[in-house]
Amino acid sequence: SYVLTQPPSVSVAPGQTAKITCEGNNIRSKSVHWYQQKPGQAPLLVVYDDRDRPSGIPERFSGSNSGNTATLTISRVEAADEADYYCQVWDTSSDHPVFGGGAKLTVL
């Protein structure tokens, strides 16, 4: 089945740019969605269809997808962005969603 690989952790100083990657075989052929999850809360969709943002999500959150890597970029990182971030695609061969293992963003 399809596998998504994320780095376990990413660290960045406030005001800098964080890049969280999601690797999968020919992932560019799939629509990638990104979720933010803070402790004790349900996941929140922050980017969908590779690069679109739901209403209410700051423009600081952006996405890209090319080759075997999709990337969530958070510009001008704030302390409130500290959370776990999960990428997700739909595996059409098995007709179910696939999630990455999650990346913990630490704001230094």
Partner 1 sequence: QVQLVQSGAEVKKPGASVKVSCKASGYTFTRYGIIWLRQAPGQGLQWMGWISAYSGTTNYAQIFQDRVMMTTDTSTSTAYMELRSLIIDDTAVYYCARAYCSSTSCPGSKFDTWGQGTLVTVSS
Catalog residues that contact partner 1 under the rule CB under 8 A: 30-31, 33, 35, 42-45, 48-49, 54, 86, 88, 90, 92, 95-102
Minimum CB–partner distance for residue 47 and partner 1 (Å): 9
Least distance CB 2 / partner 1 (angstroms) = 12
Q: Nearer to partner 1 by C-beta: 21 or 31? A: 31
Please provide the DSSP assignment of 14-75 as one string: TTS-EEEEEE-TTGGGS--EEEEE-TTS--EEEEBTTTB--TT--TTEEEEEETTEEEEEE-
Rg of the chain over all Cα atoms, to the nearest angstrom: 13
Least distance (Å) from partner 1 to the CB of residue 5?
12
Q: Do residues 79 and 14 touch, judged by C-beta distance below 8 A?
A: yes
Rank residues 18 and 32 by Cβ distance to partner 1 and give the closer one: 32
